[in-house]
Amino acid sequence: MPQRTGSLLVPLFILLAGLFASAYIQILPELALELLPWLPYVLASVMVFLAWHFNRGKVLLAGGLILLPAFYPYIATESFPSSSTTVAAIGLGLLLVLRERGFFNRFVFNRILFLAMLLAWSVAYEKGTINFDFLAINVPLLDVTLSSLLCWAAIAITSLLSLSYWWRKADGFSTAVLVSLATLLLIECQNFSVNQDAAIRSAQILVWVWFVIAESHRMAYRDELTQLPSRRALNEAMLALPRHYAIAMLDVDHFKKFNDSYGHDKGDDVLRIVGRVMLRYGGSASVFRYGGEEFTLLFKGRNVEQAEETLEQVREEIQAQRLDVSTDAKTKEISVTASLGLAYSTTGEAPGDVIKRADQALYQAKRKGRNRLMVAAD
């Protein structure tokens, strides 16, 4: 499944479930209808707890921003769009470009203060506490005030920024921001009842709860440097293997010597290059970072028959990569190579034993001169 489609699948399902619930809100029991307006705040409390537990300051800010328009009895005005929706949209857009700084510290306080000040200025202008006459004029042909036009422009620019960011990243955070912006605009433009509003806003908050849970799972099972699944993910994948499979171990040649010569930063670049190459073959094999400079490829199903051909392609593509190690004195590019060992499973053999045989084949490839593939004997 393409990454963009996968990132949208669960958030859109949650949002559509909220819309479906809002359409049939009248069939709920009376007690449920009485409790429903409190549901967004209960879910927001769960969201804040998860943000605290996983030290996610931007999630804390997002929770406050998407609940901001819910306080309409206190800040409601006649403007369209409302100040709260405009500030919430701008704030969500800013979260896309701000770095994560933790749950509650001076950075989060400064960001909350900035957004609160922005909201206070907007509400003060709409209430007439402060006055900018030029913003009240009607824009020709559009029949809207300049202030409303500027608000819509800010929301539109933020939405386009969010869409562009999601298109490039397709990660959980940008997806949650994009879905939240769409929900804010839907609530702003439609005349929902209090209970319908609560159902849709609850779905909006559930998207963020899902993001925090999914992100914590990703951090536990994915290697941060190479973006490959980690050894923990490999261990789980080996719990449910078919009868016939193959495991390959890949090791970067002379990696310690490379680190000593060019530094650990360049060594990390080498691992990223190898990770990017292996990700391209994710359709043929499940790829993992085993640890250090070692990687694992797991072949199942029909792909077992093409395992050796695929591994040769991986080896050749790694060798074709170039890494810039230039210094102030001279310009220099080098290539890296990798050795591989492959083992096919046999009847009754434990996956750990297959890995051991793949490792033995890998060491044999290194003894024979490196930059080659060796297949273990059954």
The first and second tokens of residue 174, run together, are 């940008």
Instruction: Give me the residues paired with residue 287 across strands.
Output: 297
Q: Is 140 helix (H, G, I), strand (E, B) or coil?
A: coil
The first and second tokens of residue 135, run together, are 């913003």
Rounded CA separation 209/203 (Å)? 10
The first and second tokens of residue 299, run together, are 């072949």
Considering only CA atoms, which of 168, 138, 125, 133 is closest in space to residue 3?
Answer: 168
78 is catalytic: no
> Which long-range contacts link 270-276 to residues 24+ away (Cβ below 8 Å)?
270/323, 270/336, 271/225, 271/226, 272/225, 272/226, 273/318, 273/321, 273/323, 273/336, 274/226, 274/250, 274/318, 274/336, 274/338, 275/223, 275/225, 275/226, 275/227, 275/228, 276/226
* Residue tagged active-site, from 34, 293, 312, 316: 293
Considering only CA atoms, which of 318, 293, 193, 282 is closest in space to residue 3?
Answer: 282
Phi, psi of 191 (to 5 degrees): -95, 85
Residue 81 preceded by cis peptide, ω within 30 = yes
Which residues are designated catalytic?
A: 293
